[in-house]
Structure 1
Amino acid sequence: MSEADASPRERLVDSAIALVRARGVHGTGVAELLTHSRAARNSIYQHFPGGKAQLVEASTLAAGERMSGLLESLYVRGGAEGLVDGLVDWWQRELERDGFEAGCPVVAAALAGPDLPGVESAAGTVFTVWCAQLGAALAGRGLDADAAASLAGFTVSAIEGAIIQCRATKSLRPLDDARVQLGALLEMRLGAPPATGATD
């Protein structure tokens, strides 16, 4: 769907994701959301009766669903190792494209604070889903469920932490380091990746 075809609700969600990525939840105001989305003044409360908090909650879940789709496609193409490597590649491209100004909207939502419990809860839900996806991929490579869940959680934490460092230092080095160290860890825990395209 093109931007021109998007509904006001979809434009508001897209704008909330973009602005929260760059400015955080508390740095994103209602006026900015309306300007960025080109939505009418009453649009937020028409589509999100709870106001900005409900919009950011919805946008956090939407961002999580989009990333889940990316994770699935990366896994289909490259297995567990390809998922991790592809995710690092994707984030490096995103950070360079935005001049290190935009990070993960789910991290921003997680830092929203106790006055926005629905937003924090949405971030927790997204992280749980991502960890479950990666955990399932790792379990498919032979790890038991507990080990797969633990390694998945650590991997998500390592990549998200590296993204934060990249923004602060204006450098891709933290993600390069995460790639190398996570790759070594996955190789140690999983062994060599399964052969693909084997011939008779």
Structure 2
Amino acid sequence: MREYGVHATGLSDLLKRSNTARGSIYQHFPAGKAELMEQATLEAGRIIAARIEELTQVLPAEAVIDAFIDGWKQNLTDSSFAAGCPIVAAAQAAPDALAIREASAKVFADWARVIGRSIESKGIDAAVAASLGSFIVSSLEGAIIQCRSARSLQPLDDAKTGLMLLLRREGAD
């Protein structure tokens, strides 16, 4: 899914990678691949949201962004820029895969909410903090897409520079 997107990821590929029997997939996901992809999107989102929340409680905003960017640089480098964000893959699912796309929207909103709450805890106005949370998610996800396209880490470096300037200006660093 991270490499080929939702549409091009076949159930046989998923079974092979997970060493799972075909029957067990349908036992747990009666609606098949669509339900599996929706739940995988939500679960990946929950895991990442929990990590963001954990980091924001112990690190300043700049260090959280550093950690996120460093992690993505490693992921991109390790996969030779083949593996992107699974939530972006879900967001780009076919129009008839509405549940998968809705799951991605929920995940992006959850991440923005976690980041926004952290920024608000620094004394920033709630509406401004919410907007910044959404902008940070958009900026980083866009940078990841650009990195894959250009096969370069520069877009993440550029996003980091811009986000750090913005957070400092707002007093949320």
With the shorter chain as reference, the TM-score category is: over 0.9
1:41 aligned to which of 18, 22, 30:
22
1:118 aligned to which of 85, 93, 99:
99
Q: Any residues of structure 2 matched to 1:87-166 within 5 Å, and which? A: 87-166=68-147
Alpha-carbon distance in 1 for matches of 2:46, 2:86: 12
Q: Which residue number corresponds to residue 159 of structure 2?
A: 178
Alpha-carbon distance in 2 for matches of 1:183, 1:85: 10
Alpha-carbon distance in 2 for matches of 1:131, 1:167: 22
Higher relative contact order (CA 8 A, sep 6+): 2
Larger Rg: 1
2:168 aligned to which of 187, 190, 193:
187
Q: Which residue number corresponds to residue 31 of structure 1?
A: 12
The letter for the 1-side match of 2:48 is M
Count the aligned residue pairs: 173
Does the 8 A contact of 1:21 with 1:103 survive in 2?
yes
Q: 5+ unaligned residues in a row in structure 1: which ranges? A: 1-19, 194-200
1:70 corresponds to 2:51: yes
The letter for the 2-side match of 1:160 is E
Alpha-carbon distance in 1 for matches of 2:2, 2:58: 27
Pairwise CA distance, 1:76: 2.6
Does the 8 A contact of 1:107 with 1:123 survive in 2?
yes
Q: Which residue number corresponds to residue 13 of structure 1?
A: none
Pairwise CA distance, 1:40: 1.2
RMSD, aligned α-carbons: 1.1
TM-score scaled to structure 2, two decimals?
Answer: 0.96
Does the 8 A contact of 2:53 with 2:115 survive in 1?
no
Alpha-carbon distance in 2 for matches of 1:93, 1:190: 29
Does the 8 A contact of 1:79 with 1:137 survive in 2?
no
Alpha-carbon distance in 1 for matches of 2:126, 2:48: 23
Q: 5+ unaligned residues in a row in structure 2: which ranges? A: none
Pairwise CA distance, 1:178: 0.5
